[in-house]
Amino acid sequence: MSAKSYRIAKIPGDGTGPEVVREAVKVLDAVAEKEGFKIEWVEYDLGGERYLRTGEILPAGVIDELRQMDAILLGAIGHPDVKPGVLERGLLLELRFQLDQYVNLRPVTLFPGVYTPVKDKGPEDIDFVVVRENTEGLYAGAGGILRKGTPHEVAVQESINTRMGVERCIRFAFEYCRKRNKKKKVTLCGKTNVLIYAFDLWERTFREVAREYPDIETDYAHVDAICMWMVKNPEWFDVIVTDNMFGDIITDLGAMIQGGMGIAAGGNINPNGVSMFEPIGGSAPKYTGKNVINPLAAICAGQMMLEHLGEEKAAQRVLEAVKRAVARDIKDLGAGKMGMTTQEVGDLVARYA
């Protein structure tokens, strides 16, 4: 019998993307060998460089090819010479939407030895997961502008929420919470007192789905309160479920309290299709090509991917290796402050894994 093998699309993308993806690949290949499976990497040249060269953002056929993959590992999207929004919407959001990756899964975990900017909180306090809806809400791109450029201009932006979209996301949160098996609590983050249509649907659906999970405690908080508590009482959270826009905001705040963009990773999950994993920081043009960017976030994205593929033991190896590296070797998670190069961090984690 031949070894198990995965076909993984690799999209290094822009800026520091290629540098961090290279290290993630190094680490994943190392654990694959140890655990006796194979990863076949299929590289896609997408991002700002290609757009500037050819005018193409997401060439025809690519989406269909990606659908055949076991997963996707993405570096970063965003180029200083391309108007902000073009690549984010044309590529990143387009992939999320077209591949129907309806959950953006963002663990917020403080590893021992990592600096958090909040006081009096340690790894036992900062350990929760945000389940962000990833295919609708304000990200639908719906809206328009009337009388543009005149004193009477009106700009409308619409948050579109469907029962189907909200329900599958909330159900994912409850399932994930049960599997996670920690505090067994799902908190809905919304703004029911102002967004009376959108969060009426969210709140009703949340209550209905919750009934199917009597073993799981539920809670609700307004998004403004959630932001305060993430700083003051992060230990209150286990799984937070929320819409696309609020999820975007609170996961960046989450990234900050867990140590910053050097370590924060996320997965764009379609449980019935192909999922995409990414470090959540950007393309960091100012550090590009300098061998100083922190690859741990990309490595952690790879770790999430292994878990998603069912390679639990390999995922565990990577997790332990990252923890060991941050606890013992890496001085600071910031770019240029690690006390070692991008490549050295990758080598180290590959060795520990």
Ligand X SMILES: CC(C)[C@H](C(=O)O)[C@@H](O)C(=O)O
CB 323 → ligand X: shortest distance, Å? 24
Does residue 184 have an active-site annotation?
A: no
Neighbours of 270 (CB within 10 A): 18
Q: Does residue 191 have an active-site annotation? A: yes
State which residue, 39 or 223, has the beta carbon closest to a copy of itself: 223
Query: 3-class DSSP state for residue 119?
Result: coil
* 163-180 helix and 198-210 helix, angle to the nearest 10 degrees: 40
Cα 87 to Cα 20: distance, rounded to the nearest angstrom: 19
Which residues neighbour 60 within 8 Å (Cβ) at sequence distance 6 or greater? Answer: none
> With CB under 6 A as the contact rule, which of the stretches 88-96, 163-171, 196-204, 211-219 interacts with ligand X?
88-96
For position 88 contacting ligand X by CB under 6 A, the verdict is yes
Residue 282 contacts residue 5 (beta carbons within 8 Å): no
Quickly tell me which residue has 């919407």 as its tokens: 89
Q: Give how far Cα 172 sits from Cα of 102, 242, 271, Å.
A: 10, 12, 9
Residue 224 binds to ligand X (criterion: CB under 6 A): yes
Residue 293 beta carbon to ligand X: minimum distance, rounded to whole angstroms: 17
Based on the residue annotation, tell me whether 119 is a catalytic residue of this protein. Answer: no
Catalytic residue, candidates 26, 191, 243, 287: 191
* Shortest distance (Å) from residue 329 CB to a copy of itself: 23
> CB-wise, 271 or 334, nearer to a copy of itself?
334
Query: Residue 344: what residue type?
Result: E
Residue 328 near residue 109 (C-beta atoms within 8 A): no
Q: Does 228 bind ligand X (CB under 6 A)?
A: no
**How many residues of this chain interact with a copy of itself, rule: CB under 8 A?**
63
**Segment interacting with ligand X (CB under 6 A) among 85-93, 122-130, 155-163, 345-353:** 85-93
**Sheet bearing 71-76, strands edge to edge:** 37-43, 4-13, 71-76, 276-279, 265-269, 103-109, 127-133, 239-242, 185-190, 217-222
Interaction residues for a copy of itself, span 219-238 (CB under 8 A) = 223-225, 227-228, 231-232
Site for a copy of itself in 68-97 (CB under 8 A): 84-85, 88-89, 93
Q: Which is nearer to ligand X, 31 or 240 (CB)?
A: 240
Q: Which two tokens stand for residue 298?
A: 């990309």
Q: How far is the CB of 297 from ligand X (least distance, A)?
A: 12
224, 232, 286, 337: the active-site residue: 224
Binding site for ligand X (CB under 6 A): 88, 92-93, 193-194, 224, 248, 280
Known catalytic residues? 139, 191, 224, 248, 252
